[in-house]
Structure formats: structure tokens, C-alpha cells
Amino acid sequence: MSDITADAVVVGSGFAGALLADRLADRGIRTAILEAGPRVNRARAFETFLGAVVKTPESPYERSPEADFPKSEDPDHWYRQSGPDKFKSTYLKAVGGTSWHWLGTCVRFLPSDFQLRSRFGRAVDWPICYDEIEPFYVAAERELGVAGDSADDLGSPRSGPFPMPPIPASWLDGACERVLADTPWRVRPTPQARNSEAHQGRPACCGSASCIPICPVAAKYDATVHLRRAEAQGAALHEQTTATFVETGDDMRVTAIRFTRPDGSSGVARGRVYVLAANAVETPRLLLHSRSERTPGGVANASDQVGRNLMDHPIQLSWALAKDPVWPYRGPLSTSAIENTRDGSFRRERSALRIEIGNNGWTWPTGGAPELAGQFARRGLRGKPLRAAVADHAAREVRLAALTEQLPEPDNRVLLDERERDPFGVPLPQMHYRVGAYARAGLAEAQRIHDRIFARLNASETHHSDTWQGAGHILGTTRMGNDPRRSVVDRDLRCHDHPNLFLVGGGAFPTGSTANPTLTIAALALRAAGAVTATLSG
């Protein structure tokens, strides 16, 4: 046995866990962080990525039976799918979590996103409003190092500037902005946690175009920034330490978290306050597995809401060849987007959209430029004609991706598989998932808008994916709310059932908006730090 003792025990070292652990350690609170995966060597991981035959968001990262995770190319790996649709979004188990392979987009929610029921008669309202979270958005942008245009709030009023000016627009961004100038669609710089100038000891973005799956120079923020800070302030980070069971006492307070390591050693982590920050699949999986006589439905699940209301941002992926060169394959994977399709009365009937303009050509849908040589060679081209054809095609590739808003549905959920378990005896996650008519109507609208944008670019060879894509945004499953009968945590992310247990991360989202969720995850974690600290002081 190798037990761990601290004031605060944090499970998970991604965005939410790292930010919260840093805040606690900075306040002199003894903090222990449990992470199932190993530390990542950036240089070695980048070399692994370059050598990978199949380049996916997960390809640079170490995988083992004791710390396995989903695969983008195989939705049936790790997940046990019970349909009717397959859940396609993934995550990592590593020190720093999925922050290693995120895109870096840091868009705020709109004020209306917190009031979907009140404004549009759909789903539920959040127990907090935009004005309550706005100061924490400012703090999160500062902590992550967000580059953006402070003169344009993109519909989300600001009380402070971005820490850095925006990442320069790509040639493709400018081409889209020019041809769409007299249309309803505005092309705007995307706020992103990527250095536009040297910042906090990290270099400016050098345009490697490998943001997903790995930034080779650490210009893009990842959670190891705050983990290093937390460790420097006395926090103890326990890698390859998998939480397997949450223990509770007669007073319904959490008393310990059991863990196991790959070498077979095990123990318990004890603290006065516990924080689960293991993402919206692994957190409910752990809670549901932690059944006892006191918690027959699992920990924090008196409401039967743990695991329910699973959401993503189903993506409509479209691609075409512009008439003239637009010069993709330069800079970060995306630097601009169309944001003014995210709100309107239409949300009573269909999903809103956020349209990302991709700088990586056709890489996502077809494999892009590396696949072109083989295609043209099979058509008989050789030598200079082959080289010219590849260069011409690659220079004109355009890719759009529309993120849609999915409504929370109780039957969309994470369950425990009845047959298969991981090496530590915890059942694998079973995903029951349906995209739903609301999001599908948004996907159809996205196709129509994409066609009109392509027409403006005089594009040919227009394609639309015939199925939606996962956004990598795993939301819901431990929703926040004021009513303990219909939610898992309160407005401070404290479990209704257990006064010393907090659940941070995207699982707390009652609804999903169309915004990439990381900035809101970060803001909520920073906001929860006050309640966690107060609990320890009480």
C-alpha cells in the first residue's frame, strides 16, 4: 500500500484539474493530483507523430492497457457503443490530459447560451448567467494566454482585454472575408490560447500546422503549464495512478478515493475535499462504479442524472476547390471563423452554428496533400506534370467545419458495460447516443451555407461528408442545477449528495452552446476554486 494524504485530492490533470490544483496550491493548500496516464515528452511525442502511418489526434501519445482511451479512427475502441448513433469524440490519459491535442480555440458562450429555455423554449437554463461567469472568462483568458481582437466581443460583452493581439489571419481567411463582405456571414479572428508573441516563457506560434495533435514548440497552451506551477508551489502529482472507487461515510461525505497503479500496487488517497476532473466520460464512469449500500446507484447519483445528458458539437464537414489559389497548409489549423450564425430566433426550431475555416486544406476529410501524389500518379502523371498538379490542387483546397448545438437528452448517456472491464476491474464505458433532430437540422443548414460560401469562391469539386463528425467536445453527464432531483452538482460544482465532493469539467454543462467548451471549462474551474477553498476553511 502507498497511501496519499492531502487537504485536497484532485482526480485528473487536464484543463480543469490543473487550473484548480494551481489555484489551491497557490493558497497554501496541500494538494494531491491523481492522473491515470504518464508524463509526456514533447519531443519524443512529436517524433512519434511524424512517424505514424495513420495520423490521428491520439497518434503521438503513449497507450497501455492500464491507461487506455478512445481512438478517433475506431469508435468501438474503448467505448462500448449501444447506439443508435456512435459517439465519436475522444480524449487522452496523460499528464495534462486532452489539453495536449486540442485545437486551442477559446470562444466564450453568448449570454443567450445560458438561457436556452427562457429565450427559445428548449432544454434548460443554467443556474448561473453570463454576468456571473464573465469575470472568470477574463481570468481564464489571462491564465491560458488567449490571443484575440479585444475590439470585437463576438456577441459576448467583455470587461477586460485579451492578453495578446490576435494570431494573424491566413490568406484563406482574407479570401473568404473579401468574397463574403456583402453577405450575412462575417469572418472574424478566432480567440485562441496560442501565443501571437512570446508570452510567459513560451514562444510565439511558428505555424507548424500540427496543433492537433501536438504543438512542437509549446506556443499553444496545454495544462502542463499550470501543473508545473502547482508542483512548484508544493502540489504532489501522482502519474499513472488510476482512481478506481470513491468511498463515502455515514454522513455522505467522501472519505477516500481508491487507486491502482500499473505495477499492481494500490492504495487510498485521503483528503478533506475531493475534486473529480476526469472528463465527462471518466468522471461518471468512476461515480457509477462506486456503488455501495449507502450509494446503490453510484456516488452523487441520488438524482439518477449521473451519466445522462451526454452532448457533443456534431460537425458538418465540407470541402471544395477554389477557382484561385487560397494557399492553405500555413499557420495554425484555424485562425478565423464565422461566429454570427450562433444566435437567433431560429434556435426554437434548429441548432445554431459556428463555422470554422480550416487552414489545413483537405487533410481532415481526405488526407490532403500527402495523398494527392498517389492519386495523380494512378492517373498516369509523372515528373513535372505530377508535381504541378499536386501544387495546383493543394493551393486551392478549402475546408469548412460547422459545429452544431446538441440538446441534452436523458437517454444520451454514459453507462457501465455489463461484460468488459479494464485491468483494474472497472467496467468499460458504454455509450448510448443519438444526434437528434435539432442538431441534424443544424447540420442540414450548415450544408446550405457551405454551398453558398463555396459558390462565392467559384469553387468546384464541392463535397459534404455524408455523416457528422465528432468535435472532441464531451459535455453533460454531471450537469449543474439548483434542483437536486434534476442535477448532479450545484452552481458552485459541489455535489448535491456529498458536501466535500466537487465535479469540474465539461460534464457540468446543462447545455452545450456552439462554442468550443475549453474556455468555459476553465472559467468554471476558476470559479469553483473559491467554493473549494471555503469548504476547507469551514
pLDDT of residue 491: 98
Q: Using alpha carbons only, what angle is made at residue 183 by residues 177 and 184, rounded to the nearest 5 degrees?
A: 105
**Vertex 17 angle, CA 20 and 311, to 5°:** 120
Contacts of 361 by beta carbon, 8 Å cutoff, 6+ apart? 328, 329, 368, 369, 394, 397, 398, 399
pLDDT average, residue stretch 311-337: 96
| Residue 1 clears pLDDT 70, i.e. is over it | no
Is residue 199 flagged as an active site residue?
A: no
Q: How confident is the model at residue 355 (pLDDT cuts 50, 70, 90)?
A: very high
Asked if 478 and 283 touch (Cβ cutoff 8 Å), the reply is yes
Indicate the length of the chain as a whole number. 538
Question: What are the structural domains of the chain?
Answer: 4-537 (3.50.50.60)
pLDDT above 90 covers what percent of the chain? 96
User: How high does pLDDT run on average in the chain?
Assistant: 97
Q: Which of 313, 450, 464, 473 is catalytic?
A: 473
What is the arithmetic mean of pLDDT over 208-234?
Answer: 96
What does pTM read for this prediction?
0.97
Q: What is the 3-state secondary structure (H, E, C) of 182-231?
A: CCCCCEEECCECECCCCECCECCCCCCCCCCCCCCCCCECCCHHHHHHHH
Assign 256 a pLDDT band (cuts: 50, 70, 90): very high
pLDDT tens-digit series, residues 166-212: 999 999 999 999 999 999 999 999 999 999 999 999 999 999 889 99
